[in-house]
Amino acid sequence: MDDLQKTLILKKHPLAWAFSLFALIWVFRIILVSYFGVDVPYFDQWDMEGEKLYIPYLEGHFSFWDIFKPHNEHPIAMTRIYLLTLFNLNGGVWDSVLSMKVQAGFLAATGLFFIYDYIRKFERPSPLSVFILFLVFFLPIGYDSLLWGIEVHWYFLTLFSMLSLQMAAYSEAPKKNFFFAYLLSILSFLSIASGFITTFVVGIMEGYRFVKNRDRYLHLIFSVVCLVTTFLLYKTIPKVAVSEPLALESWSRFPYLFLKTIGWPDMTGIFFYWLPSAYVIYKAFRQRLDGSAILFPLGIICWLLIQGAAVTVKRGGFVIRYADMFMMIIPVTIYLVDLWGGPRLQKWLKPLIVVLLLTITFHYTPGDIATEYRERKIYKQTIVEAVFAEKITPGEGLVRLKKGPLPHVDAELVDRVLKHPKIKEILPQDYK
């Protein structure tokens, strides 16, 4: 079967291919969670889920407006809606492993979106490009989010932002497209605080359209609406003391930490993907290319750069939970290279991307997942023995938590939540 025949098969059933690969991504991640997921709530779950969500909800004084209360600086309304929906569908059981399995579907949905959009958009979609898009979402490089039951907000942020930027990029039916782009950007903010960046980038994209088409004043209005909304959303983000120690200490360190955030040197493979993107962007601007084909990947690049700057300033650099978000540079690279890269660049770059993806995965991920799993098993054993099996006293359990492999866990918070009569009732019965 030659390349043309493979392309025709892809073009004939784009949605079927996208859903099939979506299913493979989700099922594989469910299998990983089944083997390595630990069902005891972890870290922020005791605070955000246990103390501030389930306890007031079960006691009957959790109001509609409580959904929008910030956790630290994040509005996480979408996360609360997701958790309460899952909690009720699961018969009132606080099951972290189930949450991990379901939330993996949202990352898989982002993969579905990119695969379908790529096959539909390109006249001759490359099977190798589709395979690379599949690998981006199939390989568990961002394992930290995968194995943590409340990290769905990162998946929401990525999914809503990619959909929003795509809607903003298309020129057909501008009023309708802007409405959905704007709505999705607000949902991004209601997922996590840095979602306001999505609204800002949509505003920049609308401003770009106005500059390129000066008779289209509608885009100027859309741009102003987004930029004003961005300012208002940013002003609603509270400053919290718990985040201050993580912030950038000195602006002189910003260049180094920013490069580290986007992949250099720890995730060199991810950083490498910025290089062909930069070349193709330069080429696109020199040729004065316009339209949704270039605006969509440019919007994602702008979004990633600002997210990287925000992570650098507010968190002092890259941690593995951000990997799934910054991996979006790879679909951008595929789009740009297939649009304007030329056959020579396509021929050597795509196999290299596959090699780098597999190298990153097998070099970092197996050992890191095993370490994370081992630490959380010890953590679970300590809590179960102290609270359910009563093999050790609660006080001794707190000491073990503080001195164990996860010293950053707030042992007093765990003890306070577990002492509440409602909590012991909603944890999985196999703890006992």
pLDDT, average across residues 275-290: 68
Two tokens at 14?
């784009």
Residue 314 binned pLDDT confidence (cut-offs 50, 70, 90): confident
| Cα-to-chain-centroid distance, residue 382 | 31
- Is 90 exceeded by the pLDDT of residue 150? no
- Is 60 exceeded by the pLDDT of residue 432? no
pLDDT, average across residues 392-415: 58
Query: What ranges do the domains of the chain cover?
Result: 247-340
- Is 60 exceeded by the pLDDT of residue 398? no
Which has more pLDDT, 428 or 287? 428
- Is 80 exceeded by the pLDDT of residue 349? yes
pLDDT tens digits, 120-147: 888 888 889 999 999 999 998 888 888 8
| Cα-to-chain-centroid distance, residue 326 | 8
Greatest pairwise CA separation for the chain in angstroms: 75
Which has more pLDDT, 156 or 292? 156
φ and ψ at residue 74, rounded to 5 degrees: -100, 135
Output the CA–CA distances (angstroms, integers) from residue 72 to 45, 100, 187, 323, 416, in the order listed: 13, 22, 18, 21, 19
Give the model's pLDDT for residue 85. Answer: 96
Give the model's pLDDT for residue 197. Answer: 97
- Is 70 exceeded by the pLDDT of residue 397? no
CB 150 within 8 A of CB 45: yes
Give the model's pLDDT for residue 245. Answer: 56
Give the model's pLDDT for residue 219. Answer: 87
Q: Exposure string (b/e) for 335-362, b if CB count within 10 Å is 16 or more?
A: bbbbbbbeeebbeebbeebeebbeebbe
Question: On the CB side of 131, how many CA atoms lie within 13 Å of its CA?
Answer: 12
Residues 6+ positions from 312 with CB-CB distance below 8 Å? 248, 254, 257, 258, 261
Rounded to whole angstroms, the Cα distance separating 330 from 277 reads 9
φ and ψ at residue 428, rounded to 5 degrees: -55, 140
Query: pTM above 0.85?
Result: yes
Give the model's pLDDT for residue 294. Answer: 80
When the pLDDT of each residue in the chain is averaged and rounded to a whole number, the result is 83
Output the CA–CA distances (angstroms, integers) from residue 1 to 14, 177, 263, 295, 393, in the order listed: 19, 39, 38, 34, 67
Residue 105 binned pLDDT confidence (cut-offs 50, 70, 90): very high
Give the model's pLDDT for residue 319. Answer: 72
Query: Looking at the chain, how many residues does it have?
Result: 432
- Is 90 exceeded by the pLDDT of residue 209? no
Rounded to whole angstroms, the Cα distance separating 152 from 80 reads 10
φ and ψ at residue 71, rounded to 5 degrees: -105, 115
Which has more pLDDT, 320 or 48? 48
Query: What would the DSSP string read from start to end of 319-368?
Result: -GGGHHHHTTHHHHHHHHHHHHSHHHHHHHHHHHHHHHHHHHHHHHHHHH
Alpha carbon dihedral 291, 294, 299, 300, in 10-degree steps, equals: 150
Give the model's pLDDT for residue 83. Answer: 95
Give the model's pLDDT for residue 273. Answer: 72
φ and ψ at residue 244, rounded to 5 degrees: -60, -40
According to DSSP, residue 71 is labeled B
pLDDT, average across residues 367-389: 71
Alpha carbon dihedral 359, 318, 309, 197, in 10-degree steps, equals: 90
Give the model's pLDDT for residue 337. Answer: 85
pLDDT, average across residues 153-181: 90
pLDDT, average across residues 323-350: 85
Rounded to whole angstroms, the Cα distance separating 230 from 211 reads 20
Give the model's pLDDT for residue 257. Answer: 81
Rounded to whole angstroms, the Cα distance separating 270 from 139 reads 13
Give the model's pLDDT for residue 153. Answer: 93
Two tokens at 192?
């996590």
- Residue with structure tokens 């194995």? 147
List beta partners, residue 74.
Answer: 71
Lowest mean pLDDT among 61-70, 125-134, 373-382: 373-382
Give the model's pLDDT for residue 254. Answer: 85
